[in-house]
Amino acid sequence: MRDPKGIYYYPDPRNKRERMYVRENDGSIEFRLWNQDHPEVWEKHGWLDMDIIRRAAALYDKKKQDPLKLYDLEIARSLLKQSRRQ
């Protein structure tokens, strides 16, 4: 899907109030989270590549929830590939 901010998917398909935007930058796929209930997330956090995401996730208390579940490289690759064909 696409809107003025870019290409996105829903990290949790049941929650349409949160979107994960994806883009390619110098051969890397980058992610940026947007949440309708917390617009400050978009403003405070820029684009992140998987290396940064994995390092940050390693510091996270995984007993509660795994933050890596939000970032799906396969979905991102597929969306970006589709966008190049259009």
pLDDT in tens, 7-48: 999 999 999 999 999 999 999 999 999 999 999 999 999 999
What does the pLDDT average to over 61-86?
Answer: 87
Domain boundaries, position 62: 2-85
pLDDT value at residue 41: 94
Count of structural domains, the chain: 1
pLDDT value at residue 44: 95
What does the pLDDT average to over 53-81?
Answer: 87
Taking all residues of the chain, what is their mean pLDDT, rounded to a whole number?
A: 93
For 17, 46, 50, 65, the CA distances from 55, given in Å and listed in that order, are 26, 16, 8, 16
Q: What is the DSSP string of 65-82?
A: --GGGG--HHHHHHHHHH
